[in-house]
Amino acid sequence: MCWHIDRLHRQPIELEEFAATCTSAGVSDVVTLHGDLNLGSGDGLLVARLLAAVAANESDAKSRRSQRKMLELAQSGRAHSGGWRPFGFATDRVTHDPREADAIRTVAARVIAGESLTSLCTWLDTQGITTVAGGSWRLPTLRDLLLSGRVWGQRTHRGQLIGPGQ
């Protein structure tokens, strides 16, 4: 039993796999709060396939809208709101976190002076400065932080510099 058939799957291939599983298990009726489907009949499977196509289209449309919004935010220099906050910033993604911003400046200066990222990861850990997820520093995380346009006021989108950040 499920709320609606499009909550059970979002892609037509998932429906076909589900229908095959139901057939092999001897199950033909799917009960939803919005109606029943008989996957064992041609008409019931047709309706399920049409609903799967509509669900896939809506999922794709939502993805396109989300991608357009992310590009719009990037082009205007504004930060996006999903995921972890960036290291060095408060939860509003604009205000600098003084302790973390100071750590970025220190690490950047030490890298320019020739210190290795490995030793800087160790230094950050010994100073009790964790990643935003609360974890230990790893080379890729620190490298990505130092190469991020965000730390010098730029906005990126999909790995490309777009322009000045907020």
User: Across residues 39-63, what is the average pLDDT?
Assistant: 86
Extents of the domains making up the chain:
5-75, 98-164
Contact 20, 9 (CB under 8 A): no
Nearest to 82 by CA among 100, 67, 95, 96: 67
Dihedral class, residue 134 (left if φ above 0, else alpha if ψ from -120 to 50, else beta): left
Say whether 54 sits in a helix, a strand or coil: helix
Q: What is the pLDDT of residues 8-46, one digit of tens each?
A: 787 888 888 988 998 999 988 888 777 788 888 888 888
Query: Is the per-residue pLDDT at 155 higher than 90?
Result: no
Nearest to 150 by CA among 78, 70, 71, 69: 78
For residue 1, what pLDDT is reported? Answer: 65
The alpha carbon torsion through 115, 158, 151, 97 (nearest 10 deg) reads: -110
For residue 4, what pLDDT is reported? Answer: 77
- Rounded CA separation 120/60 (Å): 43
User: Across residues 75-99, what is the average pLDDT?
Assistant: 85
* E strand segments, the chain: 29-32, 35-38, 154-157, 160-164
Query: Is the per-residue pLDDT at 81 higher than 80?
Result: no
- The residue among 55 and 10 whose pLDDT is bigger is 55
β-strand partners of 35 = 32
Q: What is the pLDDT of residues 101-147, one digit of tens each?
A: 999 999 999 999 999 999 999 999 999 999 999 999 999 999 999 99
